[in-house]
Amino acid sequence: MSCCAPGTEGSLQLDAARQGLPSNEELLLSSQTLDDGLHQIDLSVPDVHCGGCIKTIEDGLSALPLVQRARVNLSTKRVSVVWSPAQGDPAQIVQTLSTLGYQPHLFDLGVEGGDETLSMLVRSLAVAGFAAANIMLLSVSVWSGAEASTRDLFHWISAVIAIPALAYSGRVFFRSAFSALSHGRLNMDVPISLAVVLAFLMSLYETANSGEHAYFDASVTLLFFLLIGRTLDHVMRERARSAVKGLARLAPRGAMVVGKNGQRDFLPIEDITTGMTILLAAGDRVPVDARVVKGVSDLDCSLVNGESVAQTVTPGEVLRAGTLNLTGPLTIEALAPARQSFLAEMIRLMEVAEGAKAGYRRLADRAAQLYAPVVHLVALLSFVGWLAVSGDWQRALYIAIAVLIITCPCALALAVPVVQVVASGRLFEAGIMVKDGTAMERLAEIDSVTFDKTGTLTLGQPRLINRGDIGTRNLMLAAALGAHSRHPLSRALAAAAPDTRQAPPSFDSIKEEPGAGLEATRQGVIYRLGRANWALDPKTETADPADSYQPGQTVLSADGVFLAAFVFDDALRPDAAAAVAALRNRGLAVDMVSGDQVGIVRRLAEALGIPSFKGGVLPEAKSRHVAGLAEAGHRVLMVGDGLNDAPALVRAHVSMAPATAADVGRNAADFVFLHDSLSAVTIALDVSRKAGQLIRQNFALAILYNMIAIPTAVLGYATPLVAALAMSSSSIVVVLNSLRLRRPNPADHRAKSGKEESAVGLLAIGRGT
């Protein structure tokens, strides 16, 4: 039921069409459907400039009944909106943004245009620089003692040069300021525009009255220095976002699609839908997630798994968007549109990490929000004070202009987002995806780490080693059951199915009990595959001696009667021992909880140097273990991969999972690492801690700047030109300090070469969880 009044939806769509805004159909087609029935869409809002803009947009959209949440990413100038279709018309979203003064546009992943903002800034900078140089030459003549008539002529020539220069180059600031004022709000560009205009008008007044002093050179040069700062800030932000831009460049513009009648057409990537047949030539990147229908080729899958060795793909295998086809042509079938592809999801994760509202970010935004009214008040008081003391309104206005400029909190506004952008880029380069920007802040606070075993400390690729001890019929039953689960041991059993001409057994019903196993019904018999103490009925006599299996071992039973026991081995993750040692060296407490047998867990803990461990632990107990640590005052990082780890991952202070984890585990985790090496844990920790340190340094730099700059300007020691230089320099210093996070770390190399440096151990395990 829509919350709109009758006729409102049509009116909104008509208004949107008149204003060139996206229509309902375009919004729905470009949105992503979430698991809970909500929709999410990313809209480009190029007019976002500061923390005040972020606050205005998020508050305005959150006030709509249909909007569940709205987040603005200042770096990408994009707003991500989650809304409920049942609560209203999505046209309200674009209409609200337009009303607030931010013209929204659909974001297109497949199209990467040039940097129009940078082009405009460079052109504006060139015009301002040319005008400032010429006006400065005229000013030198005036300063050299020109006669009154010559002085007035040069002043008027300077005015003629300044007017078009200010109109063209100043639009960067004037448009933003006008948009804010026309919608009843203030932003950082309002005082800057006010300062430039006041300096020009004061100069024009002096020229019209044949005054000795005019400040055309000051107003244009001021604009020139402001544009230098804005341009450098933009360039550095784009450099910091190099990881996301690199991902976006991996999305091809389109693909060759084969129609039902065999006709071939090149379609833009946004027009490719599920089920379409695509021809993929050697050298092309996979446009969307797809399945190989025909052909054999080698693919560069380093984007997905971090491996430099090419992977051979054959019919039936799934390809991820963004991977590169190296050797042969393939015919593939699209599994999802581009906006729902693996590549699009990685980009979304990166941008969530960049734009999320961490505690530091909220603090900086609140401070920036107070900036505009405070700076105008300080400038007004400076003007009134100097006018009262000196009686010279020109000098008082000159000082007020300097105050308006020098107090711009650009450094404070950049203190957090630039660090977040650089940090998420560093983590991506190390194969670590951040799902929540606040996770880095939380990870930096941890004092203990809890590991799962199977699929976390080990690779989760077990191999059945007692196949010869199991009868063919029992092995077929176990393999057929295992095919219905994603658990590593179930997959190992499915892979060990005997090679016979018989059809695999079918079951009337199958269900999975997390942390226990699989239960199926076949011809009235209940089969269980899983932990022995769950699968077997203690009241039933077993067919084998009781010592043929352990309580936590994986067994197959029929109506509670023992049929077979299974033994597996598994390989440790690369650098597992080194990662554990590195975490302990950083002063963190490390423990392990597993559903596997206590003896097996003990042997693994001793091999890795983990002092505390628990075996035979069910999912509820894992969650209670993490909750107990939290109640004792610890901040826990939980690293796990399975369906049975999800409660513990959610309960932990922060969580991490490998990309091979079950869907529930990946969704519950705050970080997902793509490579096999466990050094991802230490890399994420080091980057998060360094990011927190740099954010605190940036805050200190911004506060120190304001403590020095504001009194200097108020006391009249800073001219508008000096103020412009100081304000731009403070922003550049903060950005340069943030970019120090990009320095290479030896741990990053270990993440890439961990397989060569680690000793792979084989462990006999049971039903590992």
> Hey, which residues are catalytic here?
452
Nearest CA to 474 among 495, 497, 491, 507?
A: 497
Kind plus residue range of the DSSP H or E element containing 673:
strand 671-673
Task: Count how many Cα atoms sit within 13 Å of the Cα of residue 69 in the half-sphere of its side chain.
Answer: 6
Q: Are 298 and 310 in contact (CB under 8 A)?
A: yes
Tokens coding 340: 């729902």
Report the distance separating Cα 517 and Cα 502, nearest Å.
25
Tokens coding 548: 């043929």
Show contacts of 171-179: CB within 8 Å, 24+ apart.
171/124, 172/120, 172/121, 172/124, 172/227, 172/230, 173/223, 173/226, 175/47, 176/47, 176/49, 179/47, 179/101, 179/102
Amino acid at 584: R
Report the distance separating Cα 44 and Cα 103, nearest Å.
8
Provide the pairing of β-strand 636-639 with 448-451.
Answer: parallel
Backbone conformation region of residue 560, classed left if phi is above 0, alpha if psi is from -120 to 50, else beta: left
Answer positive or negative: Cα dihedral of 204, 205, 209, 211. Answer: negative
Per-residue DSSP letter, 75: T
For residue 173, the SS3 value is helix
Q: For residues 531, 536, 537 and 538, what is the CA-based torsion angle, rounded to 10 degrees?
A: -80
Q: Are 552 and 595 in contact (CB under 8 A)?
A: yes
How distant, in Å, are the alpha carbons of 159, 379, 559, 569 from that of 386?
A: 27, 11, 94, 82
For residue 335, the SS3 value is coil
Neighbours of 318 (CB within 10 A): 12
* Tokens 């799934």 sit on residue: 318
* Tokens 């899958």 sit on residue: 301
Task: Count how many Cα atoms sit within 13 Å of the Cα of residue 542 in the half-sphere of its side chain.
Answer: 19
Q: Are 638 and 648 in contact (CB under 8 A)?
A: yes
Report the distance separating Cα 584 and Cα 631, nearest Å.
22
Report the distance separating Cα 414 and Cα 74, nearest Å.
10
